[in-house]
Structure 1
Amino acid sequence: MSRSSSKDRSSSVPPSPQNRPTFPREPDLYTSLLSSRLTDTQDNGTFNNNGNPQATGSSTSPFLAPHRTLSSFGAIPTARLDDDRSSILSDGIGSNNGAGTSNGRKRQLMSTSELARSSGVKHPRLNYLSYYIPAIKWIPHYDLKYLAGDVIAGITMSSIYIPMGLSLASNLAHVPPVQALYSFAIVPIIYALLGSCPQMVTGPEAAGSLLVGEAVRHAINSGKQHDDDDTKNAIIAGIVTSICGVVALTAGVVRLGFLDSVLSRALLRGFISAVGFVISIDQFIAEFGLISLAKLEGVSHASSITKINFLFNHISDIHGPTALVSMVSLAIILGFKKFRTRIQDRHNWVVFIPDRFLVVTIATVLAAKLDWASNGIENLGDVAETNFQIRFPFKQANITKIREALPTAFLISVLGFFESVVAAKSLGSPIDANISSNRELVALGVGNILAGLGCGLPSFGGYGRSKLNKQTGGKTGMSSVVLSSITMFCLWFVLPYFKWIPRCVLSAMISSVAFSLLEEAPADIRFFIKIRSTPDLLMMFIVFTLTIFYSLELGIAVGVGLSVVQILKHATRARISILGRVPFTDPAIFKNAEEFPEEIVQIEGCLIVKIPEPLTFANAGDLKNRLRRLEVYGSTIAHPSLPRLRSDEHNRNVVFDVHGMTGVDGSGAQVLKEIVEGYLGRGVRVFFARGPRKGGEVWETMERAGIVELVRGGEGDFFEHVSDALKAMEAEEIVVERPASV
């Protein structure tokens, strides 16, 4: 494995600059970091400053004396180019106290400011701050060519979602309609300043508003307040919204953005479908003119099953004019949605038609001119015109309400964050912005905290309206600023005219949203049936059923609990496998013996085990059990009741292929040491192939744990390839190949 020094010297000459590869992202930063590190590059103790391999073990151990293939940079091993790139960048961003060594001495690392200056950044601190506050970057460099599209998109959003906000507040959250407008006035502009997705539109959502309504319903049913106490209902909404903001902000600060992967698609589809069903049943009462009767019988805040029973018992009491206006409004909204979907590919202008705004405007004008109220069609009524008041929710008088609102606020935060991140990542950005889940949490958290001070509704990003924003020309956060500005204008000047809006029309708008929540469920169900994913179907059914028959909180809580159990089961299962050699391959190829039994040959007297993942406390406990199954049965899926299928003669040597074992914690190292000790005690030689770099974190952990000493003391060793370990055994004349069928 040794190489001549002349070869090393010739290979270390860097190529000409024109032949060097370039990277599309941060070339200046990477090049400067690379050049600063080339002066004392080493492979964690494997190479010295002159690029010559150091003696790190016996000459029979290829892994301990790896060959060095130089890349076009002239000093970095090709096999480690990607790893070095990430490690250089991460090292450079670290502190100056030096992490890592060069020939046993500390390496001086560059600070973030030094890295920025070396890359030509004039104002490092401002550049650093602009990552967390994107408005610092996009506002000074705003391109006026985007202005027309942003303004049109903002107006379109306002015409559709301001009436929708009134519906969500009055019909789902059971708070004064103006509270939704406070959210639309505050959260979008905050998100425009702090959010990482310029085209995202934030605001109250149906699921979150319904959960706020559940909190209000709980307070009413417990006798702590009355249904018509708008002030106390608004305070509850403000408390829930503020807690949502605190939860989101805290999660973003401590970098919990990765949790958007915790909830499965089946769980969310089951819950969202249940929300759509619950909303539909709620709105039927208003659409049929049965609001007063429902309040009289005390079913306004009852379960969905109770409301269904109420509707069947009072079919004869349906108010004809109200039902007619509701059905016509709903038919227009749904019909235009279908029409727009069919022709918008050929005629893009159709997306600019604010169908909901037109329906609400026409219905409001007709209600005022024709006095629909005299015919029994209930209007929205006077909307509070009081000045905006800041109510700090976290005070002693609200302790009981805060404690009761915590579960609801947490669920809203989880659902809202998941939908926001999905929307942000699906939309992307016309200016190639970097979408960060953690920054999304911070932006949404700050926005909801401020909205909660005004007793607004919880607000998160929505894919539907964000997609419409993109389709109508929105390119930057300016469209959200326009939305907030128009909402403020409505709060100051248009509120008196809202009183003529028929409640049944607002209910029809909410019903259209509920149907959109339900329309994707059949496709998901068909897909899960097609791939025979019984666990996902069962998850959807459980969450949907519990939400319908019991409560929203119980449905999502059980769903999250089941998801966590699935994650833990997946994380604690050791994914080891037995390998066999594909005959007549040079270099030798090894495949999973269980998946490709007809393509491989077994190695007589040798068990080759692949560990494809980091070894931690979570999966180390299962490693011994699954390893024993491989020894006894040659498979990890064989049932323990079977008789022994593999004799001890086939396990005289064990080779661990640990290429995927990129990390080992204390528990994992302890279990691995016990396994090695057990083999050595039975006279079995242990080899490691494709193992960790000497000097790396995994190697040092194994060395400190005594695993390296045990392996070498038991006449084993560490090799660069599995075939090298087999050759070493073959040299001892203890390895014989035989067909897998024998």
Structure 2
Amino acid sequence: MLKKIIPAIDWLSHYHKNDLRGDLSAGLIVAVMLIPQGMAYAMLAGLPPEIGLYASTIPLIIYALFGSSRQLAVGPVAMVSLLVFTGVSQLAEPQTEEFVSYALLLALMVGVIQFALGIFRLGFLVNFLSHAVISGFTSAAALIIGLSQLKHILGFDLPKDSIFVILYEAIRGIGETNLTALIIGVGSIAVLLFFKKKLPRFPAPLVVVVLGTVFTYLFKLNETAGVNIVGDIPQGIPSLSLPAFDFASIGALLPIALTISFVGFMESIAVAKAIAAKEKYKINSNQELNGLGLANIVGSFFSAYPVTGGFSRSAVNYQAGARTGLASIITAVIILVALLFLTPLLYYLPQAVLAAIIMVAVFGLIDIKEAVHIFKIRQADGWTLIITAIATLTLGIEQGILIGIAVSLILFIWRSAYPHVAELGYVEQEDVFKNIKRFPDAKTYDHTLIYRIDASLYFANMAFLEEKLREAIAEKNASNVILDFSAVNAIDAVAIDELEEIIESYRDSGVKFYIAGMKGPVKDLVKRAGWDEKYGDKINFLTVKQALNTVQ
């Protein structure tokens, strides 16, 4: 029982010495990668850089103990950081103590929501975020995140507005560009892209951080060339503190907390499942919610803003040899040591370098190929992706994902209200009944309509079914109708009553109805409605062929 609550007990009790080398290697490499990333993502979230480092310590240890993935690398990520900025900047000015306080409260709220979803086994709710919505949202958000860092690359302020305004103001103010900051930013991007392509496992962010810091220190670029630097980063590990509780603030932050809870979990569970499939073990989605929820709850008491599992770091963690959650614990310990002793070395770190790290990380999330692929398979899903992306770019992060969810749900309801139906004919060579539109040579029968319904029946699609049945019966001049229920997985009370009305209304016209292939759960429901007494064996045929033999 305790192993279910704390999955780490399982891998700790069976830990193999052979795994230690891989865990040590992965823990060190991810720590080296996470120190600059954590600072960069905190800056993106509108927070002081040390908050990103705090978020890379305690939450990692908590997730390692309570999460079900052995290789997922939890910590600050670009998407969640942008969402934090979007939500909290409506209540306070970025980089202020009030802003930090709201961000910590937001982490607590996200943790409580995720933990509650896990405890009540409501992980299935994230399925309402369709792949098309996530893809469109991610690509648009990546563009917003990347362009939000343009001010640090160019070296002059740009408005916190839509990407169109940012681009316009960037072009208009191009003469104000700080050439030194531009060279540092573009050079960092070039180095990061080189290593990403040639040596993806190499901790390239550390290289640009070291180079940028050393050059700025040696040539005092912050004084001689006006290059913006990180400045003082407080030394020491995060201390225990309580997030400020304010019911008005909780109400204001709730929409963004829900968005982060779902989007963060989707990002986390996707990469966790991909790695688990390769390693031949299972991910428990509800346990993942518990692990992430507890990581955010506990983290909020140690000055951490919302965290989740990241795609790139998890891939690096896995490729570097991580075998268990010990790798994440090692990462957290190394960052704690860095907080105690190494933060003075980052004083001269240019903000342009952190902006470059963010831009390279997020622009990789823009997936044009996926959009083309989705359009090729199903245009409706493709348009859902496009609408979500446009809404996110023009209206904002929260509104974009809500509109995407609304569009995907409307499409789902529309498809279920207008299900696929087909008249069947007999294909003698294969001894099967098939759609006569796809198999025009299939044998049909005079005055007998064989009709398949490819959906569950409920109140919203019965009007459509009745209309299609009337058209088919009239066209066929049928006196016998065989309904193939093999694809009907469920039926509600309204659909039972309306189907009964259809059968009864045609009885006076001499049209008889037969039902074949009815599944057990559906049969149980119609039995309660008294259909066994009303229709007897006419509804109990196992196959269409049995029903046809009775009719013929």
Q: What does the per-residue CA deviation read over 1:703-729, in whole Å, with 9 as the maximum and x for residues that have no partner?
A: 2202222213xx835222222222222
**How far off is 1:499 after superposition?**
1.9
1:541 equivalent in structure 2: 386
- Out of 680, 683, 696, the position equivalent to 2:507 is 680
**How far off is 1:617 after superposition?**
4.1
Aligned CA distance change for structure 1 residues 239 and 202 (closer, same or farther; 3 Å): same
Q: Does 1:597 align with 2:427?
A: no
Could you tell me which amino acid in structure 1 is paired with residue 416 of structure 2?
A: A
Aligned length: 551
- Out of 284, 302, 322, the position equivalent to 2:181 is 322
Could you tell me which amino acid in structure 1 is paired with residue 487 of structure 2?
A: G
1:177 equivalent in structure 2: 49
Contact 2:26–2:321 (CA under 8 A) maintained in structure 1: yes
Aligned 1:141-160 pairs, distance under 5 A: 141-160=14-33
SS across alignment from 1:594: coil
Contact 1:356–1:509 (CA under 8 A) maintained in structure 2: yes
In the aligned structure 1, how far is the partner of 2:335 from the partner of 2:315? 20
Q: What does the per-residue CA deviation read over 1:220-277, in whole Å, with 9 as the maximum and x for residues that have no partner?
A: 4xxxxx4452x11111211222222222222222323233432333322222222222
Aligned CA distance change for structure 1 residues 317 and 394 (closer, same or farther; 3 Å): closer
In the aligned structure 2, how far is the partner of 1:721 from the partner of 1:595? 21
1:195 equivalent in structure 2: 67
2:172 equivalent in structure 1: 313
Could you tell me which amino acid in structure 2 is paired with residue 438 of structure 1?
A: N
Aligned CA distance change for structure 1 residues 603 and 719 (closer, same or farther; 3 Å): same
Contact 2:137–2:389 (CA under 8 A) maintained in structure 1: yes
Aligned 1:515-526 pairs, distance under 5 A: 515-518=363-366, 520-521=367-368, 523-526=369-372
Q: What does the per-residue CA deviation read over 1:206-225, in whole Å, with 9 as the maximum and x for residues that have no partner?
A: 111011111232224xxxxx
Aligned 1:85-164 pairs, distance under 5 A: 126=1, 129-164=2-37
SS across alignment from 1:218: coil
Aligned 1:692-707 pairs, distance under 5 A: 692-693=519-520, 697-707=521-531
Contact 2:448–2:476 (CA under 8 A) maintained in structure 1: no
**How far off is 1:683 after superposition?**
2.6
Contact 1:166–1:180 (CA under 8 A) maintained in structure 2: yes
Higher deviation after alignment, 238-247 or 612-621: 612-621
Could you tell me which amino acid in structure 1 is paired with residue 265 of structure 2?
A: F
2:107 equivalent in structure 1: 241
Q: Does 1:289 align with 2:111?
A: no
Aligned CA distance change for structure 1 residues 475 and 325 (closer, same or farther; 3 Å): same
Aligned CA distance change for structure 1 residues 532 and 425 (closer, same or farther; 3 Å): closer
Q: Does 1:611 align with 2:453?
A: yes
In the aligned structure 1, how far is the partner of 2:293 from the partner of 2:111? 4
Aligned CA distance change for structure 1 residues 272 and 619 (closer, same or farther; 3 Å): same
- Out of 362, 365, 389, the position equivalent to 2:214 is 365
- Out of 276, 280, 287, the position equivalent to 1:428 is 276
Higher deviation after alignment, 545-554 or 497-506: 545-554
**How far off is 1:448 after superposition?**
1.3
Could you tell me which amino acid in structure 1 is paired with residue 466 of structure 2?
A: K
In the aligned structure 2, how far is the partner of 1:691 from the partner of 1:200? 44
**How far off is 1:384 after superposition?**
3.1
In the aligned structure 1, how far is the partner of 2:142 from the partner of 2:166? 15
Aligned 1:255-654 pairs, distance under 5 A: 255-291=121-157, 294=158, 299=159, 301-340=160-199, 351=201, 353-375=202-224, 376-385=226-235, 388-393=238-243, 395=245, 398-428=246-276, 432-518=280-366, 520-521=367-368, 523-528=369-374, 531=376, 533-583=378-428, 588-598=431-441, 600-617=442-459, 619-620=461-462, 622-632=464-474, 645-647=475-477, 650=478, 652-654=479-481
Could you tell me which amino acid in structure 1 is paired with residue 105 of structure 2?
A: I
Q: Does 1:166 align with 2:15?
A: no
More RCO (CA 8 Å, sep 6+) = 2
SS across alignment from 2:233: coil
Q: What does the per-residue CA deviation read over 1:561-601, in whole Å, with 9 as the maximum and x for residues that have no partner?
A: 1111112223333333221112366xx42111232122x11
In the aligned structure 2, how far is the partner of 1:164 from the partner of 1:543? 28
Q: Does 1:666 align with 2:493?
A: yes
Contact 1:197–1:429 (CA under 8 A) maintained in structure 2: no
Q: What does the per-residue CA deviation read over 1:405-436, in whole Å, with 9 as the maximum and x for residues that have no partner?
A: 11112222221111112111211256532112
In the aligned structure 1, how far is the partner of 2:279 from the partner of 2:305? 31
Question: Which stretches in structure 1 are left out of the alignment for 5+ residues?
Answer: 1-125, 221-225, 342-350, 633-644, 731-742
SS across alignment from 1:428: helix
Contact 1:176–1:384 (CA under 8 A) maintained in structure 2: no
Aligned CA distance change for structure 1 residues 729 and 335 (closer, same or farther; 3 Å): same
SS across alignment from 2:56: helix
In the aligned structure 2, how far is the partner of 1:256 from the partner of 1:717? 37
Bigger proportion of residues as helix? 2
Q: What does the per-residue CA deviation read over 1:132-191, in whole Å, with 9 as the maximum and x for residues that have no partner?
A: 432121110011111101110111111011211101112x11111121122211222222
Aligned CA distance change for structure 1 residues 679 and 692 (closer, same or farther; 3 Å): farther
Could you tell me which amino acid in structure 2 is paired with residue 409 of structure 1?
A: A
Q: Does 1:716 align with 2:546?
A: no
- Out of 533, 548, 551, the position equivalent to 1:726 is 548
Aligned CA distance change for structure 1 residues 145 and 702 (closer, same or farther; 3 Å): same
Could you tell me which amino acid in structure 2 is paired with residue 475 of structure 1?
A: R
- Kindly report the root-mean-square deviation, in angstroms, between the aligned alpha carbons of the 2 structures: 2.3
**How far off is 1:380 after superposition?**
0.3
Q: What does the per-residue CA deviation read over 1:346-393, in whole Å, with 9 as the maximum and x for residues that have no partner?
A: xxxxx2x32111221232233333322222222101123476344444
Aligned CA distance change for structure 1 residues 272 and 717 (closer, same or farther; 3 Å): closer
In the aligned structure 2, how far is the partner of 1:139 from the partner of 1:429? 21
Q: What does the per-residue CA deviation read over 1:50-108, in whole Å, with 9 as the maximum and x for residues that have no partner?
A: xxxxxxxxxxxxxxxxxxxxxxxxxxxxxxxxxxxxxxxxxxxxxxxxxxxxxxxxxxx
Could you tell me which amino acid in structure 1 is paired with residue 484 of structure 2?
A: D
Aligned 1:185-224 pairs, distance under 5 A: 185-220=57-92
SS across alignment from 1:139: helix
In the aligned structure 2, how far is the partner of 1:617 from the partner of 1:250? 32
Contact 2:101–2:244 (CA under 8 A) maintained in structure 1: no
SS across alignment from 1:691: coil
In the aligned structure 2, how far is the partner of 1:364 from the partner of 1:525? 39
Contact 2:63–2:291 (CA under 8 A) maintained in structure 1: yes
SS across alignment from 1:602: coil
In the aligned structure 1, how far is the partner of 2:354 from the partner of 2:90? 24
Could you tell me which amino acid in structure 2 is paired with residue 185 of structure 1?
A: T
**How far off is 1:201 after superposition?**
0.8
2:117 equivalent in structure 1: 251
SS across alignment from 1:709: helix
Could you tell me which amino acid in structure 1 is paired with residue 373 of structure 2?
A: F
Aligned CA distance change for structure 1 residues 429 and 192 (closer, same or farther; 3 Å): farther
SS across alignment from 1:601: coil
In the aligned structure 2, how far is the partner of 1:332 from the partner of 1:339? 11
> What TM-score results when the alignment is normalised by the length of structure 2?
0.93
Contact 2:111–2:297 (CA under 8 A) maintained in structure 1: yes
In the aligned structure 2, how far is the partner of 1:416 from the partner of 1:717? 48
Aligned CA distance change for structure 1 residues 210 and 233 (closer, same or farther; 3 Å): same
**How far off is 1:700 after superposition?**
3.1
